[in-house]
Amino acid sequence: MNTAKLRTKRVIVTTTAAVAALAIGGGVWATAANADVRGEDRDRLGNAAVQAVGGGTVTDVDTSDDKGEAYEVEVRKQDGSEIDVALDKDGKVIGQQADTPDSPDADDRVLTDAERTSAEQAAVAAVTGGTVTDVEASDDPGVAYEVEVRAADNSEWDVELDTAFKVVTKTADN
């Protein structure tokens, strides 16, 4: 499974209102800005992956370029851990891989709920009227958090924050 692709394209919405409004069968559905699988297919594949891992939030659904796989779904569990789920063309689960601190694709640490909330609030303040689509810890010098935001005009912004949740950079994502 191409988990590096999943990591770079993952999209997460963690607002409490979205979580409450989108609860589906023991799992939660997050909206996506860059996923290439949409609509009913996205719902069907996401639900299959959430059931397979025992609950969580779908953060990304993509077609797969790996042999034997048709789709890749990333699920974030309640504890913050992430599971990559591979599905065949019929939507049947054919494999799972947990992102662990030892895996090459899990180079960022899991954020606490407080960190995630503070980073989201700071990024939304920087991109007025925006919606957070992803929050990650950063390993860049002087940058503690990387936040992706979609503005009201659908433009994408990358907002980098320091440890005090102050904006270090705000860049339009082309």
- Which residues in the chain show pLDDT less than 70? 1-36, 99-108, 174
pLDDT at 126: 95
Structure tokens at 104: 């090459």
Q: What local confidence, expressed as pLDDT, does residue 24 receive?
A: 39
| Residue 121, CA distances (Å) to 32, 147, 173 in order | 19, 10, 19
Residue ranges of the alpha helices (H) in 54-145? 113-126
The whole-number pLDDT of residue 108 equals 56
Please report the pLDDT score of residue 174 as a whole number: 63
The pLDDT value given to residue 99: 67
How much is the pTM? 0.43
For CA atoms 12, 15, 19, 21, give the dihedral sign. negative
At residue 102, the pLDDT reads 46
Domains in the chain, CATH or no CATH each? 3-99 (3.30.505.20), 113-173 (3.30.505.20)
* Side chain identity at residue 163, one-letter code: T
Tell me, what's the pLDDT at 161? 94
Taking the C-alpha atoms of residue 53 and residue 63, their distance in angstroms, rounded to an integer, is 19
The burial class, CB within 10 Å (0-12 / 13-18 / 19+), for 42 is buried
- The pLDDT of residue 110 is 81
